[in-house]
């Protein structure tokens, strides 16, 4: 595959309308805080959710969260900045997204932001590669980390009313693990199953600083984010209201 070619699932087609570029909203002003009720809290330890799916609560220090939040504010700027992606049916996604390394447009990868300004995608920072490898090491061990070669990140901003429907990460030829880092407000992260998007569901609360890694038998599991708990972010991140997820992948492209 040539460097500028979309990934194979691009054959499903793209929306002719393109995405909608957005500006990053102003940071949240301190105010009343909401409790994220309904999902039991977990201790800051490695938790195996399913075979191949691991959560580690409070994996990122507050300083690390602040550093990533500062980086996100730069990634969100044009060119190839923050936008609402649009699926081939024409539906505009409620999440806002910016990409690093490879530009993801439902459902294909390319090296340019073809659904907005056409600019080259921002590079994947080396520090983020190292962080993702450390995440895989803590989730699955050093051997798994040594074989992990991430080359893309999809960074989503979930405003308080945004959500992400059940889907599987299927655009990547590789079955390497997916690493997800959470910043800002807490959310419900919902799992269905491998090969099914219907219930029963397993709901997990992800808070700012939590790590989620899924691979192996859970690499193609259906998952989504049905709810964000507004006002639950730690102070000092200087983020707009909502949740930021940094999802790091090895595309194999």
Q: 0.85 exceeded by the pTM?
A: yes
7 Cβ contact list (under 8 Å, min separation 6): 1, 107, 108, 109, 171, 172, 173, 251, 253
Q: What is the mean pLDDT of residues 125-136?
A: 97
CATH number belonging to domain 43-249: 2.60.120.590
Residue 112 three-state SS: strand
pLDDT, tens only, 6-48: 444 444 555 556 778 887 777 765 554 443 333 333 445 899 9
DSSP line for 12-26: G---TT--EE-PPPP
pLDDT, tens only, 204-240: 999 999 999 999 999 999 999 999 999 999 999 999 9
pLDDT at 79: 97
Domain boundaries, the chain: 43-249
Question: Whole-angstrom Cα distance, residue 99 to residue 95?
Answer: 13
Position 3 confidence tier, pLDDT thresholds 50, 70, 90: very low
Q: Which candidate, 21, 37, 159, places its Cα nearest to that of 85?
A: 21
Question: How many CA atoms does the CB half-sphere of 168 hold within 13 Å?
Answer: 19
């Amino acid at each position: 595959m040539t460097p500028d070619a979309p990934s194979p699932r691009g054959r499903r087609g793209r929306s002719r309308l393109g995405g909608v570029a957005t500006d990053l909203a102003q940071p949240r002003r301190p105010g009343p805080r909401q409790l994220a009720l309904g999902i039991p809290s977990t201790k800051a330890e490695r938790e195996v959710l399913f075979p191949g799916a691991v959560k580690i609560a409070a994996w990122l220090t507050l300083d690390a969260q602040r550093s990533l939040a500062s980086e996100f504010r730069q990634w969100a700027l044009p060119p190839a900045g923050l936008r609402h992606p649009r699926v081939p049916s024409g539906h505009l996604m409620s999440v806002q997204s910016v990409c690093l390394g490879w530009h993801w447009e439902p459902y294909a990868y390319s090296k340019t932001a073809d659904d907005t300004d056409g600019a080259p995608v921002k590079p994947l920072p080396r520090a983020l590669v190292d962080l993702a490898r450390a995440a895989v090491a803590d989730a699955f061990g050093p051997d798994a980390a040594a074989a992990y070669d991430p080359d893309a990140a999809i960074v989503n901003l979930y405003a308080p009313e945004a959500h992400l429907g059940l889907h599987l990460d299927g655009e990547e030829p590789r079955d390497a693990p997916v690493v997800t880092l959470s910043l800002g407000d807490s959310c419900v992260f919902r799992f269905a199953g491998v090969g099914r998007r219907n219930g029963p569901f397993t709901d997990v609360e992800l808070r700012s600083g939590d790590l989620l890694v899924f691979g192996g038998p859970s690499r193609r599991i259906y998952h989504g984010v049905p709810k964000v708990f507004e006002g639950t972010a730690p102070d000092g991140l200087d983020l707009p209201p909502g949740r930021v997820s940094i999802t790091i992948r090895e595309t194999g492209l």
